[in-house]
Structure 1
Amino acid sequence: MEQGLSDAEGDGGDPAAAPALADVLVFLEASVESLCAVEWSAVDADALADAVGRVEVLARRLEASGCRATAELAALHGRKGRTPGGVAAMLAERLGLAKGTVHGRIDAGGRQATPAGRAAASGEITGEHERIIAKAVSALPGTLGGSAKTRFAEELTRFARSAAPADLRAEAARRVAELCPARGRDREEHQERQRSARLGAVRADGTSTLTMTLTPRGRALVERALCDFGGPGGAVPCEPGSDDRTPEQRAHDALVHQWALGSTVDPARPRGIATIVVRLTPEQLEDPHALVRTDSGTQLSVRQAVSMAGAMPWFVSMLRDGREELQRIDVDAHPERRIASAIQRLVLYAAHGGCTFPGCTAPARRSQFHHVREWSRGGPTTVANGALGCPVHHGFVGDGPAGWTTIVNPASPGLCTWLPPGVDRLTDA
């Protein structure tokens, strides 16, 4: 960076000021060297707490001073005809920083006459606080007078002195919204566009990630769940003082508990009688570590599957010799109805596990009830005449020349055989 400095200093700088600056920097470097040599483990708690606070203030002031120096250097280069982008690129390369970081320092150095800039220069707030306030001020409408903007910045600066950056950001957004009510609708539409949830792939250890961008309503619901169930002992009963989970683990358990509360068994629900269906054989129940799958394809152990049921009502379907035994439930009470009942779909979930098309791995949750003998040709809505088909393969069935057909397979009770176009008998398949 020496060449960049000398280029700028040759443009009217005061040579007498250079030795003073050099002396200050030498003294600063020696002081930092001495500070780094301190054996902190030999210092008592009170002295350490005092040192941490003083070092934090010094670090904030050094950051602000560096930003001011960077802004002055950029201004000197600007007077020599260099563009701001060129100056930032040159400094970024010499300092090993991102160009955007240098731009941010130049901008911050030019804002030190503002209320937040002065507070950052004195170490009262951090550089991040100052940037949040500057962004909030820039979001105010141009019709708002300069004095009103200054008061707004002063109020946020006072708030920032005792607030974390995240809290300051939320408070700034709230105050901007109050001053700009006309933007409320656009803001809500923007929030709705930004909402998202992405469930990551299952990793080698069986865990997976969930990344979400929450609307204010979504955040409020999450915060409520964390408040209700995210404390020590929340969602996981234990003796007082014995909860050794981390805050992140407690948050995970709180959300899972909240979701489980919403997974009720309700026959009136149109999309199914159970939210999560796991198929277990008697042999698998003997081994709590055996791996099974839910109707959506998620793999988990038998112990985890059984623990999900908890004290909630659930259905256990026993399969013997490939046949469904649900003697106490009349699953085919209304064969004349075209739409299968929730219980009928549940039986097929347990019996088939997913799409019955050869080679298809679509899970039950993404499959539909298919009439083996078509409804339009008198096929009843019964478990015996039903099969699971994913939307793609269910769409294969039709009367046209390219349509597939399905027939009951006597050799495999409860399953059907899919016949390709042009084949109308099992012996021809």
Structure 2
Amino acid sequence: MQQEEWDAPGRGSETAPLADVLAFLEASVENLCQVGWSDQDADALVEAVGRTEIVVRRLEAAGARATAELAALHRRKGRSSGGVAALLAENLGLSRGAVHGRIEAGGRQATPAGRAVAVGEITAEHERVIAKAVSGLPGSIGGAAATRFAEGLTEFARTVAPAELRAEAARRVSALCPGRGKDREDHQERQRSARLGAVRRDGTSTLTMTLTPRGRALVERALCDFGGPGGAVAGEPGSDQRTPEQRAHDALVHQWALGSTVDPARPKGIATIVVRVTPEQLEHPDALVETDSGTQLSVRQAVSMAGTLPWFVSLLRDGLEELHRIDVDSHPERRLASAIQRLVLYAAHGGCTFPGCSAPARRSQFHHVKEWSRGGPTTVGNGTLGCPVHHAFVGDGPSAWTTRADPAAPGRCTWVPPGVDRLTDV
């Protein structure tokens, strides 16, 4: 390729005409669209996906900045903000809400999150979550404190999905503003709703709901217990042809049926929720805690659930689970861990113990630190939690991970990557 074909407009100079830059961008995108992706190997595709994702993020940020500047020009000509959004929405074929979002995002590019999205380190959705969290801080938290808050969330956002960032932002805002917890719960209670639609011609109906955290926790647990292939429906393994949405419907109907019967012979009990609460958190009813599926709710809500239905609320005492009256390791010779062993590990660790993983306990599996195949017992001391992805990392091959007990942290283990001294029976 000749050098002049490589050089982008403005390369080697400070600026270039906008039209030339856009023409070069369009030509580059056209070339990218002509690439034969099926001819590439896995490494090239991985690199391409990562690089194009960064480019897409930067382009979205550049588009937001351009939209904000265009809106500012219109406002200087006397048009209202609503009129500007309506005009741009019509010209671009977008909703007014989408245009407003771009204008606002373009005006926030001097913030820590705005700078991060402009260089492709986080997505526009991450930036919106952070902006909303910062705007929710009380007026007493401003200036340098608000900037540090935004910087902390931006750093956290670099390695997590927007949903995890949203939950972390809520935790941090709650920690900074504990007095708002009751207002938050009151708002949740005001928003709760359920509307059963009329029966349609085919006999079906719609159910529309806005769930409180407690309601969501119940639904998530029901879907976990009964919403998988074969869940709540008897049949041969592999014969479940239902869609995920149909399985979710059947799981909820099964849950409701169980709740309305007292038949002692029913094959599956009512779904339960496990909530991890420390004594320190009990001192602050508005503090946020998590269920074993990762749903956030306040300590007050968790305690109220424990008091009205047979929930298992696990209380830690000085970091140790108060189950000494129960022989949790009564059957170390069995391969599968008991429910009480899983509860102890959840109380101790909260979820997957692989470094950096945030998978909750409900989506984690019991893992033998010393492999069962090598004589490792099924005990709490030889157990840890691992999500399906990281649990599958462990094996005997050259590219497999191993685990070993961590003497510095009883009850925890060290995940050893391939190429490091491997676990032995010594």
TM-score tier by shorter-chain length is 0.5 to 0.7
> What is the count of residue pairs matched by the alignment?
251
Change (3 A) 1:107 1:182: same
Identity %: 80
Among 244, 250, 256, which residue is 1:253 paired with? Answer: 250
Q: What displacement does 1:204 show?
A: 3.5
Question: Are 1:61 and 2:58 an aligned pair?
Answer: yes
Among 175, 182, 186, which residue is 1:185 paired with? Answer: 182
Partner of 2:269: none
State the Cα deviation string for residues 112-156 of structure 1 (Å, max 9, x = none). 111111111111221122111101110100001322212221222
Among 102, 107, 115, which residue is 2:99 paired with? Answer: 102
- Structure 2 regions of 5+ residues with no counterpart? 1-12, 264-426
Partner of 1:235: 232
Q: What displacement does 1:46 show?
A: 4.1
Question: Are 1:144 and 2:137 an aligned pair?
Answer: no
Question: SS in structure 2 opposite 1:212?
Answer: strand
Change (3 A) 1:82 1:202: closer
Partner of 1:113: 110
Map 1:44-55 onto structure 2 (within 5 A).
Answer: 44-55=41-52
Change (3 A) 1:200 1:82: closer
Question: SS in structure 1 opposite 2:120?
Answer: coil
State the Cα deviation string for residues 141-178 of structure 1 (Å, max 9, x = none). 00013222122212222332233323322332232222
Partner of 2:30: 33
Distance in structure 1 (CA, Å) of the matches to 2:191 and 2:198: 22
Partner of 2:191: 194
Question: Are 1:264 and 2:261 an aligned pair?
Answer: yes
Partner of 1:74: 71
Distance in structure 2 (CA, Å) of the matches to 1:136 and 1:122: 21
Among 87, 90, 93, which residue is 1:90 paired with? Answer: 87
Distance in structure 1 (CA, Å) of the matches to 2:150 and 2:164: 16
Change (3 A) 1:157 1:18: closer
Map 1:314-333 onto structure 2 (within 5 A).
Answer: none
Question: Are 1:156 and 2:159 an aligned pair?
Answer: no
Question: SS in structure 1 opposite 2:247?
Answer: helix
Q: What displacement does 1:31 show?
A: 1.0
Q: What displacement does 1:203 show?
A: 3.0
Question: SS in structure 1 opposite 2:201?
Answer: coil
Distance in structure 1 (CA, Å) of the matches to 2:138 and 2:191: 23
State the Cα deviation string for residues 267-303 of structure 1 (Å, max 9, x = none). xxxxxxxxxxxxxxxxxxxxxxxxxxxxxxxxxxxxx
Question: SS in structure 1 opposite 2:198?
Answer: coil
Q: What displacement does 1:45 show?
A: 4.2
Structure 1 or 2, whichever has the larger Rg, is: 1
Change (3 A) 1:49 1:237: farther
Question: Are 1:221 and 2:222 an aligned pair?
Answer: no
Change (3 A) 1:57 1:205: farther
State the Cα deviation string for residues 234-287 of structure 1 (Å, max 9, x = none). 223445555443332332222122111112158xxxxxxxxxxxxxxxxxxxxx
Distance in structure 1 (CA, Å) of the matches to 2:248 and 2:153: 30
Change (3 A) 1:264 1:104: same
Q: What displacement does 1:98 show?
A: 2.3
Change (3 A) 1:46 1:243: farther
Q: What displacement does 1:28 show?
A: 0.4
Distance in structure 1 (CA, Å) of the matches to 2:229 and 2:155: 34
Change (3 A) 1:119 1:33: same
Question: SS in structure 2 opposite 1:198?
Answer: strand
Distance in structure 2 (CA, Å) of the matches to 1:47 and 1:104: 34
Q: What displacement does 1:230 show?
A: 2.3
Question: SS in structure 2 opposite 1:117?
Answer: helix
Change (3 A) 1:260 1:193: same
RMSD: 2.5
Question: SS in structure 1 opposite 2:17?
Answer: helix
Distance in structure 1 (CA, Å) of the matches to 2:130 and 2:163: 12
Change (3 A) 1:150 1:251: same
Q: TM-score, normalised by structure 2?
A: 0.54
Distance in structure 1 (CA, Å) of the matches to 2:155 and 2:23: 35
Change (3 A) 1:39 1:201: farther
Distance in structure 2 (CA, Å) of the matches to 1:96 and 1:17: 34
Distance in structure 2 (CA, Å) of the matches to 1:229 and 1:152: 40
Change (3 A) 1:233 1:155: farther
State the Cα deviation string for residues 305-329 of structure 1 (Å, max 9, x = none). xxxxxxxxxxxxxxxxxxxxxxxxx
Q: What displacement does 1:19 show?
A: 5.5
Change (3 A) 1:163 1:244: farther
Question: SS in structure 2 opposite 1:74?
Answer: helix
Distance in structure 1 (CA, Å) of the matches to 2:193 and 2:92: 37
Distance in structure 1 (CA, Å) of the matches to 2:172 and 2:235: 42
